[in-house]
Amino acid sequence: MDPIGTALVADYDEERVAALAQLVRELGYSTEVFTDANAAREYLHHRPDLDVILCEMDMEGLSWEFASRTLKEMDVQIPVILLSDEAKAERMLRALRVGASDYFVRPIDDVQALKRSMERCTRQRQVRRELEQSRQSLEAANTELRGTVKMLEQDQQAGRQVQMRMLPTTPLILEDYVFSHTVIPSFYLSGDFTDYFTVGEHFVTFFMADVSGHGSSSAFATVLLKNLFARKRSDFLRRNDDTILSPVSLLKLANEELLDLEVGKFATMVVGVLDLHTNSLRYSVAGHLPQPVLVCEKGARYLEGEGSAVGIMEGATFEEHVIELPDSFMLALFSDGILEILPPKNLIEKERYFLDVFAQAASSPEEMVTRLGLDQVGEAPDDIAALFVSKRG
Q: What is the DSSP letter of 1?
A: -
Tens of pLDDT along 142-177? 988 888 878 877 776 766 777 777 788 889 999 899
pLDDT tens-digit readout, 20-72: 999 999 999 999 999 988 888 888 777 667 899 998 888 776 666 656 665 56
Tell me which of 32-36, 75-79, 90-94, 107-111 is least confident: 75-79
pLDDT over 90 percentage in the chain: 44
Assign 181 to helix, strand or coil: strand
Dihedral class, residue 264 (left if φ above 0, else alpha if ψ from -120 to 50, else beta): left
Contact, 249 vs 262, CB < 8 A? Answer: no
Cβ-based neighbours of 182, under 8 Å, separated by 6 or more: 170, 369, 374, 384, 385, 386
State pLDDT tens for residues 293-349: 999 888 889 999 888 999 999 989 999 999 999 999 999 999 988 888 888 888 889
Domain with CATH 3.40.50.2300 in the chain: 5-136
Distances (CA, A) of 4 to 112, 131, 242: 15, 20, 84
- What stretch of H or E contains 222? helix 215-239
Residue 380's pLDDT band (boundaries 50, 70, 90)? low
The residues, any chain, with a CB within 8 Å of residue 255's CB and separated by 6 or more, are 286, 310, 311, 312, 314, 316
| Distance, CA of 25 to CA of 18 (rounded, Å) | 11
Amino acid identity for residue 97 in this structure: R
Average pLDDT over residues 361-388: 72
**Whole-number Å distance between alpha carbons of 331 and 333:** 7
Give the global pTM.
0.65
Asked if the model's pLDDT at residue 92 lies above 80, the reply is: yes
Asked if 378 and 341 touch (Cβ cutoff 8 Å), the reply is no
What's the pLDDT tens digit per position in 196-233?
Answer: 999 999 999 999 999 987 777 788 888 899 999 999 99
| Topology of domain 5-136, CATH | Rossmann fold (3.40.50)
Can you tell me the distance from the alpha carbon of 321 to that of 268, in angstroms, rounded to the nearest whole number?
17
Which CATH fold would you assign to the domain 167-391?
A: Phosphatase 2c; domain 1 (3.60.40)
User: Which residues have a Cβ under 8 Å from the Cβ of 269 and sit 6 or more positions away?
Assistant: 207, 208, 209, 210, 225, 251, 254, 285, 286, 287, 288, 309, 310
Q: What is the pLDDT of residue 229?
A: 95
260-283 per-position pLDDT tens digit: 988 788 999 999 999 999 999 999
Give 91's pLDDT tier (boundaries 50, 70, 90): confident
Domain(s) of CATH 3.60.40.10: residues in the chain: 167-391
